[in-house]
Amino acid sequence: MYKIVSKKTLAPAIHEYEILAPRVAKKAQAGQFIIVRIDEQGERIPLTIADFNREAGTITIVFAEAGYSTKKLGRLNEGDSVLDFVGPLGVPSHVDKFGTVVMVAGGVGVAPVFPIAREMKDAGNQVVSIMGARNKELIFWEEKMKAASSELLVTTDDGSYVRKGFVTDVLREYIEAQGKPALVMAIGPLPMMRAVVNVTKEYEIKTMVSLNSIMVDGTGMCGACRVTVGGETRFVCVDGPEFDGHQVDFEEQLMRSRKYKSEEQHALTKESCGCGGGGKCHG
């Protein structure tokens, strides 16, 4: 069992947990992920590592309550435990001295961007971070991102905080004003990452994206997380989660991400109607 030593609610239905997992913390690196399972009946939830503390033996995860399992995870409290906490999984981010690196974070994507931005800055890069959310209420970790960046640019879709616009608007303005960075990294919802890639293709800027696909085992055995990159089949769990965004087949990824939407909705309906999956549910 893995104990939740700290719980914070960062925004509506967005939580930050510190999990006591010394063996995972000992080897965790920026860009990697873990798979958490709440109990024996729980599904495996892949979450990118948001931070780690080797001395305390903890891993920080941040997640939004989106489906049945993440809602169930969100109901746990400080002192509770989860059954499984597997990791670190995946290939760590490639950190080097590139020059100017632009980190683009959409929504909850701010959390996995943070440790990568911090390491990029420590490696001597000029790190320009762009973070965006639908509204002010969903902005979190702004101070942490400031500390991990040379410059932080914030935007909201509705204009309720700092400025109105999408992260792609800010990215394009930055490129036009400051010139091409050596690297762009984008983490967030698939449509947002696709939009970032469409912008950087115009300027021929190398762009990495971090994919959070449907997974089962997380070790490359099941093939559930397959993605087409450069016309070849790759597996997010062992080949990723980061890939060259210009090579990713986003249309296929978007289609695969919607594969179990009806089943997810059915699970949420059963929970809300109180039948617990037994008997007849007319939700």
Q: Mark the binding-site residues, compressed into ranges.
A: 222, 225, 237
Per-residue b or e along 14-50, where b marks 16 or more CB atoms closer than 10 Å to that residue's CB? bbbbbbbbeebbeebbbbbbbbbbbeeebbbbbbbbb
**Residues 149 and 180: beta-carbon distance below 8 Å:** no
Q: How close are the terminal C-alpha atoms of the chain, in Å?
A: 34
Per-residue b or e along 61-86, where b marks 16 or more CB atoms closer than 10 Å to that residue's CB? bbbbbebbbbebbbeeeeeeebebbb
- Nearest of 96, 90, 110 to residue 32 by alpha carbon: 90
178: tokens are 């400051």
Query: Which amino acids are annotated as binding site for [2Fe-2S] cluster, given as ranges?
Result: 222, 225, 237
- Nearest of 90, 85, 80, 94 to residue 60 by alpha carbon: 85
Question: Is the peptide bond between 12 and the residue preceding it cis, with omega within 30 degrees of 0?
Answer: no
Burial of 210 (C-beta count, 10 Å sphere; 0-12/13-18/19+) = buried
Helices 190-203 & 250-257 angle (0-180, nearest 10): 180
CA atoms within 13 A on the CB side of 153: 19
**Residues 87 and 50: beta-carbon distance below 8 Å:** no
